[in-house]
Amino acid sequence: MPGEDSTHRIIVWDRVLERIKKKSNPQVFFWFAPLKPLSETGDSITLRANSEFDKDWINNHYLEFIGDTIREIYGKAVTVKIVTEQDKQPREDKRTADETREPKDAGPGKLFTGSLNPNYSFDRFIVGPSNQFAHAASTAVARKPGEAYNPLFIYGGVGLGKTHLINAIGNYIIKSTSNMARVCCISAEHFTNQVINSIKSNKMEDFRNRYRFGCDVVLIDDIQFIAGKESTQEEFFHTFNTLYESKKQIVLTSDKSPKDMSYLEERLRSRFEWGLITDIQPPETETRIAIIKNKAESEGITLPNEVALYLAQNTTSNIRELEGTLTNIIAHAQLLKTEITLDLAKEVLRTLLKQQDKKFLSIESIQREVANFYGLRVQDLKSDKKQKNISLPRQVAMYLARRYTGASYPEIGEKFGGKDHSTVIHAVKKIENNLGKDPSLESTVKTLSRKVESLTSG
């Protein structure tokens, strides 16, 4: 009977809601309270969500939780289907429970809040004097999100462990809350793309709701990449304020401290300084040895002590390069069917250094070459002087810096007296456009290119 089914359905869902409420905190329960039962069969239940945003979030985070709760009460597996008013009423759901519960990937037009790397945990992070404060701060935040240090701002060079720590925080929180915490981990570049796509598809309200009200913890890697992106900075400013006022934990990583990020809006930089700022330095020899040993053990390799010491003393820039070098040595040994020896390590490292010569080119060395060529001071290139005899060399230097170092536009601008990234983009494009039209400029750039390339040949 229709009436009987309706009454039975309401009683069923009320009991489920009551159990969910006991099992979750208010911040989590608010996702379930608006759900309304639409239809029910012996082995499935269809619930209606208020919006596409709610539907996607529940499908991606809580579908299995609902199914498990129903099974706890009624002792049977039930397929759960979430729909909205706009969806067509399903005729019959023939998928299995496992298929229904599997989170969907974010397709085109759908918002995506990122994912954590399960391999990055505090247990796997090698602690030394260069990173112990950052590690301690990250651990404190993970244990008491929103209470200990908010925001936590971690900065340091490439490959030193910032991404490892930010993922470890997220993984720890999810594990300690039995997967109930809503952790959003995303790169600043991905966040920017989401802003752009949401504007294009007229879904900014969904975007704002997801990050401002759909996350208990927000982890954003490489926040420096929102520099020069006005819409992204505007959205992040208001998102930051909402999260902070709601005592939601915010963790950010960057290659520079807030005070050195002159290319970001002042109001953002000041907010980054509200909490705790900690840096990660390149690891010292003892820590590098521990990292190498740990990496070798995880690969099932017994590494001779003299090889570990040699690598630690000769690969000093960052952890990523250190581990990459070890991976190359292991691969060579396996392919050649030989033991890992000191001689093999030296040969592999010698080859890698030759291939990486260009990495050692600095913006400063390019500035010196250009200044000497034009008979100027490096300070002239960094100045705001607009005379052609200074502005053209400055543009050439910016073009060469971009070409040979691969540095970002904001990074280059910073090295040229704190110029805005748009100034660097304009300079690079201007030189590129004029190379085929101006023989004199083309000759100059070729000459300077040879000089710059000679810096890497010893």
Domain spanning 285-359, CATH architecture: Orthogonal Bundle (1.10)
DSSP state of 300: T
Tokens of 141: 């935040």
Domain spanning 363-456, CATH architecture: Orthogonal Bundle (1.10)
pLDDT digits (tens, 9 = 90+) for 325-339: 888 888 988 888 888
Would you list the DSSP string of 109-122?
TS-------TT--S
Calculate the average pLDDT of the chain: 82
Among 204, 198, 172, 197, CA closest to 185: 172
Beta strands in 124-180 (DSSP E): 152-156
pLDDT value of residue 272: 92
For 122-279, give the CATH class.
alpha beta
Fold match, 122-279 / 285-359: no
Q: CA 131, CA 294: separation in Å to the nearest integer?
A: 16
Among 88, 302, 282, 61, CA closest to 180: 61
Tokens of 4: 């009987």
pLDDT digits (tens, 9 = 90+) for 92-107: 443 333 333 333 333 3
Tokens of 2: 């229709």
Q: How far is CA 238 from CA 91, 211, 250, 270, 345, in A?
A: 43, 10, 13, 14, 51
The strand pairing partners of 254, in sequence order, are 155
261 — pLDDT class (breaks 50, 70, 90): confident
457 — pLDDT class (breaks 50, 70, 90): low
CATH code for the part of the protein at 13-83: 3.30.300.180
pLDDT digits (tens, 9 = 90+) for 417-441: 989 888 999 999 999 888 878 889 9
Tokens of 411: 């990074």
C-alpha atoms less than 13 angstroms from C-alpha of 364 in its C-beta half-sphere: 1
Tokens of 110: 């759908």
pLDDT value of residue 101: 34
Cα-to-chain-centroid distance, residue 68? 32
pLDDT value of residue 316: 64
Q: CA 127, CA 130: separation in Å to the nearest integer?
A: 8
What residues does each domain of the chain span? 13-83, 122-279, 285-359, 363-456
Tokens of 55: 């539907």
Q: CA 40, CA 27: separation in Å to the nearest integer?
A: 27
Instruction: Look at residue 7 and tell me whether its pLDDT is greater than 60.
Output: no
Terminal-residue alpha carbon distance, the chain: 88
Share of the chain above pLDDT 90, in %: 24
What one-letter code names the amino acid at 298? Answer: S
Would you list the DSSP string of 11-35?
HHHHHHHHHHHHHS-HHHHTTTTT-
Instruction: Look at residue 163 and tell me whether its pLDDT is greater than 60.
Output: yes
Mean pLDDT of 123-145: 91
Tokens of 226: 């929102």
pLDDT value of residue 138: 95
Instruction: Look at residue 21 and tell me whether its pLDDT is greater than 70.
Output: yes
- For residues 430 and 414, the answer to whether their CB atoms sit within 8 Å is no
108 — pLDDT class (breaks 50, 70, 90): very low
Angle at 25 between CA 21 and CA 27, to 5 degrees: 110
- For residues 395 and 431, the answer to whether their CB atoms sit within 8 Å is yes
To the nearest 10°, the Cα dihedral for 389, 392, 394, 399? -160
pLDDT value of residue 288: 85
- For residues 155 and 253, the answer to whether their CB atoms sit within 8 Å is yes
What one-letter code names the amino acid at 1? Answer: M
Among 157, 43, 179, 17, CA closest to 100: 43
Phi–psi pair at 34, nearest 5 degrees = -75, -10
Q: CA 50, CA 111: separation in Å to the nearest integer?
A: 17
Among 50, 35, 45, CA closest to 9: 45
pLDDT digits (tens, 9 = 90+) for 243-259: 999 889 999 999 888 88
Phi–psi pair at 178, nearest 5 degrees = 55, 45
